[in-house]
Structure 1
Amino acid sequence: MRILLIGEYSRLHNSLKEGLVAIGHEVTLVGDGDGFKQFPVDYTIDPAFSKTKLINLFRQAIFKVFKYDIAATERGLRFYFLLKKLKGYDVVQLINEAPIATNPSLEKKLLGKLMKQNAKTFLLSCGVDYISVKYMLQSNFSYSLMDPFYADDSLLPDYRYIFNYTGKKHKKLHDFIFNKINGVIASDMDYVLPLKGHPKFLGLVPNPVNLEKLEYKKPVITDKVVIFLGINRGTYNQKGVPFFEKALEIIRQKYGSMTEIIVTENVPYNDYINRYNKAHILLDQVYAYDQGYNALEAMSKGKVVFTGAEKEFTDYYGLTEKVAINALPDVGLIVSELAWLIENPGEILAIGERARAFIEKEHDHIMIAGKYLEKWETK
């Protein structure tokens, strides 16, 4: 089967490609590398020209006045010139409703051309999109990444891109895509809940994780428990990082001699994935019901991850013991969980072992590739 993957988030499509190739399929990945993360792609639409020093100054001025990023137009143009190479695929999968990340009207035209020259098209729900944002705005979650904005509307610049998903232009794009696609697949429980009952919803296929690239080493705790926090400034509030920062300040004061705390910010993926190797605990996010990609990769390395692990997640997988710590938007609770682990290091080792076993059972990239094939072949 010839498969075309459009867009990339957090290495999801790279891992899926590796699983599909391992079982004999031909796969092409198109994307911009997901910004500073620099994920590999077969054909790039990275707006390199817009990033050059002189053009970037002009780009920033345009954005300041019109709130429009000219890099979006460059991505669209680069994709347009690739279209003649993106023909004859059995399956096209879009990473989200705007995988090219150009302006909505151009996105609609480009995706329309792409779908016409290939067989089936499927959509992933693995990040914010029209349906998930609408679900959040209707307060259907007990907590969500919108909560910081509700508490402080001066954060609007950080949230404008989220509100764009419910604007008229994007709604037209959303409707167009849902009229054309064969189906939509959710990557975890945070996207299953908003899609329940939708006629195009094909169910959950867990994120694929390439365990061959993520070595598990049994945690060894000698004198200090090592805690890691990796910050992406673009999602600082949406991930609930301030809760982690405040909790770490308390932990430093109370357990300074028993802990080592590592904090990094905006580092490329290949660097980031190695920076937390020595850590025993990784702080991921608080506004989630299930784990995203960052958490899954850390769990596969045997880390204790503070992330989404709500009842919906544990019920779905039939878990009776912790494979991750359910991080809630509550500094006191985060401190309490961290203190419990620091004072009971044996629990760190036990949860880390269960985390790796869970990833092996539920997220192996070759097994997950087979699940995608089943979804694609039935529609």
Structure 2
Amino acid sequence: MRILLIGEYSRLHNTLKEGLVKLGHDVTIVGNGDGFKDYPVDLDIDANWSKSFLLNPLRQVIFRLFKYDFATMEHGIRFYFMLPKLRGFDVVQLISETPIQTHLGFEYKLLRRIKAANRKLFILSSGTDFRFMQAVAEKKYRYSLFNAYLQNPALVAEYRHVLPHLTRAYEKHHEKMMALAQGMIATDIDYAIALEGTPEFLGMIPNPVNTNMITVQPPKPAPPVRIFHGINRWNYHKKGNAYFEKALEIIQRKYGDKVVVTTAENLPYAQYIKLFDDAHIVLDQVNAYDQGYNALEAMAKGKVVFTGAEKEFIQHYGLSERVAVNALPDAEAIAKELSQLIENPTETAAISERARRFVETQHDYVKIAEKYIEVWNA
């Protein structure tokens, strides 16, 4: 089949492409690289003019004054001129309901052209789309990425890009997209909860991971215990980084030079994944029930990852032993879990081994690609 994947988060579409190519399919990815993360794409719609040396200062001034980023319009314009190359595909899959990341009306018109020029259209639920935000608003989760904002509305700047997804405009966009698409596929437990019971839900397919490209980096004998904390400042509170930082303060006071903490901020994907190679423990995120791609890649390297690993996740996979540490929105609880691992290196080694095995069995990129083919052909 000829398959077109539009948009990219966390290297999901790149890894899916690797699995699909392995199965003999012809796959093209179009996207903007997801900002500073700089994920590979085949056809690039990044706003290179808007981010250029000459125009970027003007862009920043306009954004500060009017909260308008004209880079979004450039995404749409670049995508428009690529339309002749985006025809005749058997399957088109969107990373979200707004994969082009341009103005909402323009986005829909472009995606309607895509549907008209190709056979089938599917949408992933893998981010803050309308259904997910609706589930958050309806309190379907015990905690969520909105915890920090509800406790402190002054954090509105960090949430500015997700709050509009609760508006009637995005609800209408969702409805129009459902009229174009065959349905939506959830990429983990969090998104499956949001879609459960809706007519568009086609089921959950876990994130694909190519473990052939990921070398196991088992924890080295401690001490010192090495802890890696990666921070994306744009999502600092959404990911619960404040809980991690408070927990690390407790740990560093308690253990001193028995612990080495490495913190990295806003790094491109390729640099980010290399930095945690020497770590025993990786602090990923708090406000989730399941793991995203970065956590899974760390688990595939044999790291003990603090991330989403809630009871819903455990029940879904039928797990009897931990493959990751469930990071609760509670700094003292996180510090307690860290202390137990620091004082029990055999448990760290055991979770490390189970983590790799879990990713190999449940997230294998070729098996996941086969699941997508099955849903697309249903």
Which residue number in structure 1 is paired with residue 299 of structure 2? 299
Q: Is the deviation greater in 253-262 or in 97-106? A: 253-262
Aligned partner of 2:37 in structure 1 is 37
For residues 231 and 109 of structure 1, the distance between their equivalents in structure 2, rounded to whole angstroms, comes to 35
The aligned amino acid for 1:308 is G
Which residue is 2:246 aligned to? 246
**Cα drift, residue 225 of structure 1:** 0.8
Q: Which residue matches 2:226?
A: 226
User: Match of 2:324?
Assistant: 324
Rounded to whole Å, the distance in 1 between the matches of 2:212 and 2:101 is 31
Look up the match of 1:129.
129
Task: Identify the residue that residue 65 of structure 1 maps to in structure 2.
Answer: 65
The aligned residue for residue 117 of structure 2 is 117
Q: Provide the residue aligned with 2:256 in structure 1.
A: 256
Larger deviation, residues 74-83 vs 162-171: 162-171
Give percent identity, aligned residues only: 53
Report how far residue 29 of structure 1 moved. Answer: 0.2
- Contact 1:105–1:169 (Cα < 8 Å) also in 2: no
Which residue of the partner structure matches residue 100 of structure 2? 100
Question: In the TM superposition, what is the alpha-carbon distance from 1:323 to its structure 2 partner?
Answer: 0.1
Check conservation: 2:36, 2:268, Cα contact below 8 A.
Answer: yes
Aligned 8 A contact 2:134 2:166 in 1: yes
The structural deviation recorded for 1:57 is: 1.6
Q: What are structure 1's unaligned runs of at least 5 residues?
A: none
Q: Which residue number corresponds to residue 362 of structure 1? A: 362
Task: State the distance in 1 between where 2:27 and 2:270 align.
Answer: 22
Corresponding residue for 1:215?
215
Task: Return the offset for 1:224.
Answer: 1.1
CA-to-aligned-CA distance 1:76-110 (integer Å, 9 cap, x gap): 00000000000000000000010000000000100
Aligned to 2:167: 167
Partner of 1:203, secondary structure, is: strand
Deviations 1:48-84 (A, max 9, x none): 1100122112112222232221000000000000000
Extract structure 1 runs of 4+ deviating beyond 3 A: none
Give the TM-score normalised by the residue count of structure 2: 0.99
Secondary structure of the corresponding residue to residue 53 of structure 1: coil
Structure 1 residue 223, shift from structure 2 partner: 2.4
Contact 2:217 2:303 in 1 (8 A): no
Deviation at 1:220, TM superposition (A): 2.0
Partner SS state of residue 121, structure 2: strand
Task: State the secondary structure of the residue aligned to 1:165.
Answer: helix
Larger deviation, residues 301-310 vs 174-183: 174-183
| Local SS of the residue matching 1:24 | coil
The whole-number CA distance in structure 2 between the counterparts of 1:268 and 1:65 is: 28
Letter in 1 for 2:235: T
The Cα offsets for residues 245-285 of structure 1, whole Å up to 9 and x where unpaired, read as 01101111111121111001011111111000000100011
Q: CA deviation at 1:360?
A: 0.4
Deviation at 1:153, TM superposition (A): 0.6
Query: Aligned partner of 2:322: which letter?
Result: K
Name the TM-score, length of structure 1 as normaliser: 0.98
Q: Is the partner of 1:50 in helix, strand or coil?
A: coil
Letter in 2 for 1:142: R
* Stretches of structure 2 lacking an aligned partner (at least 5 in a row): none
Q: Is the 8 A contact 2:217 2:277 kept in 1?
A: no
Aligned: 1:25 with 2:43 = no
Amino acid at match of 1:211: T
1:237 CA drift (Å) = 0.5
State the 1:162 CA deviation. 1.1
Residue-pair matches, total: 378
Give 3-state SS (helix, strand or coil) of 2:350's partner.
helix
Amino acid paired to 2:352? G
1:219 deviates by 2.2
Write the deviation string for residues 324-350 of structure 1: whole angstroms up to 9, x where unpaired: 000000011000000000000111100
Counterparts of 1:177-216 in structure 2, within 5 Å, are 177-216=177-216
CA contact (8 A) 2:218 2:303 kept: no
Secondary structure at the aligned position of 1:294 is classed as helix
How far did residue 170 of structure 1 move? 2.1
The Cα shift of 1:231 comes to 0.5
Contact 2:243 2:331 in 1 (8 A): yes
Query: Structure 2 counterpart of 1:65, which letter?
Result: L
Aligned to 2:372: 372
